[in-house]
Structure 1
Amino acid sequence: MLEGKVVVVTGASGGVGRAVVRLLGEKGAKVALVARGETGLATAATEVGTLGGTAKVYPADVADHEQVEAAADSVERDLGPIDIWINVAFSSVFARFQDIEPEEFERTTAVTYLGYVWGTRAALRRMRPRGRGVIVQTGSALAYRGIPLQSAYCGAKHAIKGFTESVRTELLDEGSDIKVTMVHLPALNTPQFDWVLSRLRKHPQPVPPIYQPEVAARAIVYAAEHPSRREYWVGGSTVGTILGERLIPGLLDRYLGAFGVKSQLTDEKPSGVSNLWSPADEDTDYGAHGEFDAEAKTRSPQVWLSQHRNHLLAAGAGGIAAAAVAALGRRR
């Protein structure tokens, strides 16, 4: 379904983006890898080619709309018309709000929010004349529920959700066949926790349950292939966060106030690495995984249910879905 398709992935050099481009390679896509870290990009491009796809590297800072536009022009010149644009790139700061400098908050917003805006803009400028295309926004459970120590990131993810909904409704008003969908992710075992700027006294960690980036990649690529749904949710923690925020937000505030900070800290010292202003993988390839392989799950019932939703509904899904959740929940 994706063989020969031109797919742009931002944040392609590491973490979820790295896992996404590997899977696109397996599916025979023509993959445009956009990120800042040239060592990570080069290794990712080699992996895509080895797996059966075609890859070309486009170093760019997604916070700069001119760089994003230039990359998009180069992609269409080198690989052909862009069929799919997947926004993944982000940066952040682990710190209490009052400990984040204004320029750091601004930079996080520019990368994590405006990077999606500029990517979406570049994609639509090229897709609209053709009347087709798919845009996938990598969202988060934190687009629904802010947590302590991540105010800049949470604010950006909330903004992406509102922005995407606005763009989607404009396209519907135009009668456009361009599809825009979001995939909301849970806590993931990526290099994020090694290279995000931290002002904490201990090394940060994902809030359990933790999933491997390949779980997210499968959901994102599936959404690219089946973009008619407005949102996909990955992981039980994501679903629980969204439902909890809708039903009992006050209780969640109190719970996170009591346990939210502790749940994000390990006993180790911070890495001292930061990719806020310059790429962490300029000279070092971090790959897709972080340091939490032992705790991370390799399967998500929500992804399986999303992919089999129509079959389950047709079959009277109650018993089948319960069995699927139970079976997949036992697997890691």
Structure 2
Amino acid sequence: MKAMVLNTYGPGAAFEPTKMPDPVASPGHVLVKVAATSVNTVDTMIRNMGADLPLSPTLPAVLGMDFAGTVVAVGDGVTGFVIGDEVYGCAGGLMDLPGSLAEYINADARLIAHKPKSLSMREAAALPLVGITAYEGLTRSGVGGGQTVLVQGGAGGVGHVAVQIARHLGATVSATGRGADQMALIKGLGARPVDFTTQRVEDYVAEHTDGVGFDVVFDSVGGPNMTNSFAAAKLNGHVASTVAMVEIDLTPAHFKGLSLHVVFMLIPMMHDVGRQTHGDILRILADLADDGALKPIVDEHKFGWSDVGAAYAHLTNGYAVGKVVVEL
């Protein structure tokens, strides 16, 4: 099969076309012909940092975590999937799991689900990692009807999905962004936009929650921004962070009695613990998509086999609007 391989790591590392043996469907797995794969921030981190990240594959490496495609073979012990099924998932591209920048991926059947019927392969490939991350963060925080939710980074890959899921769960949603385009996108998703470059935390807390604070703050920005999330949350509220790799003073969280939920959705893939949970969430997300409650935003730029490096650069440079997808 054809694959795009990294033979070195680093910001300028090139994806090189390579012929590799066709994989086979091992027990508990399905062999999927990949139609599309999306680029996530963690993919760019692996490419840039290599061995400095404990989840990086050994070289030569086939990256790509998300994918959508068609089942072409089914391994022993697999039920629920047959040849010809259109599926999607997040099942490779780290540690010893070969990724989806290839013609085929041998995917653990617990990590995939049937593709939403209402989404194209391109759209479906954009959803798994960000969708699972958003769903885990919101449900672990107990989001429900009548609550107020703030999504930090509501126009981003995880954030725009979190906005839609929180609204489906019955919450009144606000979301931060910057610039007219992001404000329009957030408003179009049904959330109240907050321009964090011009509005202070105390001002939008007063405007959107009458000064009480948000029941849940979903922070897809992380880092130093977590201080803003602590400030925006109500007493005994919840903060869910997808980017908690930072040294930070937890004193404000202590005096508010906040619950902090750190979401790292790659744990089941890395440690082979609870993988079926991801398949279950993907089925829920597919139902939401087919019911019209969830639709991933895909960047308008199209990338193929020869454009993988450009796709990574497009995401890294911050020019992308929605998820960056490579069609194979």
TM over 0.5: no
Structure in which a larger fraction of residues adopt strand: 2
Structure in which a larger fraction of residues adopt helix: 1
